[in-house]
Amino acid sequence: MRIGIIGSGALGLYYGALLQRSGQDLHFLLRRDYHAIQKDGLKINSPNGNFHLPKISGYQNAAEIGPVDLVIVGLKTISNHHLINLVKPLLGANTAILTLQNGLGNEELLAAEFGAERILGGVAFLCSNRGEPGVVHHLGEGKIHLGEFSCNGSQRSLKLAEMFQAAGVPCQAINNLRRARWEKLVWNIPFNGVSALLVKDVTDILSHPLNKKLIRDLMIEVITGANAQSLQEPIDAENFSQELIAFTETMDHYRPSMMLDRMAGQALELEAIYAIALQKAKQAGVEMVRVEMLYSLLAIGEQNRQNIEST
């Protein structure tokens, strides 16, 4: 399968490298890593085994990639205003688009431009960070749940799941993409936000009883907002929140992406992870007051960053 990767960060490079290693035909739209990868290839450091791909098909312009069978979108949502123009040159008559981005609204954006029938969404449970150019550090996890945007299931989603599985990625085709999106937010909203505000990793956050309680309270609030979305199957707040906290306690000093972005002075994915979720919950009659406070504090930090950049 000819596959184009739009958004070759830690996620796009990691999954793309595994797919290429398994025999798929990968084409990466690259930015900061372009020259390093063209010169030395792509290196993945992983507890599952390090490996190096000496030759990568990398491009600085999406138009150079041309039509593919599948577009995988790993672009950060802060760059979604570029997304449509980046994807257009990769489309053929039957090209499918799979977005693995964080938050809500990404499938809707792509469907409005390219048609809902092309669009799949995926939720990636991946712990990975960028290293020096041309290097990705996979710290753990990596499973993907993916499904159709416009229907509950398809042979296409099953075949894509099989493709990822053959590449060594635990992957499951699901029938309820909307529920999976909200389940990911149950982790992303508290841990990304609190880690960015405190500049503390997940281990440091959970080691403090009051912070741990805050994380749990935020999770319960997000689940309440999720269950107001007329999900086919509601999320069990008590058990699911406990499971996520127990899982996170195994993530030894993992630094969420929003914490890294704040430390680097980069923009945060507030719209997709917070603003849209708050809006949808409010429309369903649920006020997520703790989430709204967290969003407000993060937004103040963003305004301060923008003010500094403009001076």
Domain boundaries, the chain: 2-175, 178-310
Pairing between strand 2-6 and 171-173? unpaired
pLDDT for 138-157, tens place per residue? 998 899 999 999 987 789 99
For the ranges 14-18, 80-84, 140-144, the lowest mean pLDDT is seen at: 140-144
pLDDT for 91-112, tens place per residue? 999 999 999 999 999 999 999 9
Q: Tell me, what's the pLDDT at 151?
A: 82
Average pLDDT over residues 237-255: 95
Q: What angle do CA 67, 97, 21 make, to 5 degrees?
A: 75
Place of tokens 């919950």: 281
Q: Tell me, what's the pLDDT at 305?
A: 80
In 10 A of CB 47, how many CB atoms? 9
What are the start-end ranges of the E strands in the chain? 2-6, 25-29, 42-45, 51-53, 58-59, 70-73, 96-99, 119-130, 135-148, 171-173
**pLDDT exceeds 80 at position 90:** yes
Entry pTM? 0.94
Q: Are 177 and 121 in contact (CB under 8 A)?
A: yes
Q: Tell me, what's the pLDDT at 61?
A: 96
pLDDT for 203-231, tens place per residue? 999 999 999 999 999 999 999 999 999 88
In CATH, the architecture of 2-175 is 3-Layer(aba) Sandwich (3.40)
Q: Are 219 and 244 in contact (CB under 8 A)?
A: yes
pLDDT for 164-184, tens place per residue? 999 999 999 999 999 999 999
Q: Tell me, what's the pLDDT at 311?
A: 64
User: In this structure, what are the phi and psi dihedrals at residue 139, rounded to the nearest 5 degrees?
Assistant: -95, -25
Class of domain 178-310: mainly alpha
184 is catalytic: yes
Q: Are 48 and 140 in contact (CB under 8 A)?
A: no
Instruction: Give the DSSP H or E segment for 300.
Output: helix 289-310
User: In this structure, what are the phi and psi dihedrals at residue 164, rounded to the nearest 5 degrees?
Assistant: -65, -40
Which residues, at least 6 apart from 171, have a Cβ–Cβ distance to it below 8 Å?
A: 143, 144, 145, 146, 160, 161, 162, 164, 165
pLDDT for 248-257, tens place per residue? 999 989 999 9
User: What SS3 state is found at 209?
Assistant: helix
pLDDT for 259-307, tens place per residue? 999 999 999 999 999 999 999 999 999 999 999 999 999 999 888 788 7
Q: Tell me, what's the pLDDT at 16?
A: 98
User: Which one of 43, 184, 200, 280 is the catalytic residue?
Assistant: 184
Q: Tell me, what's the pLDDT at 304?
A: 79
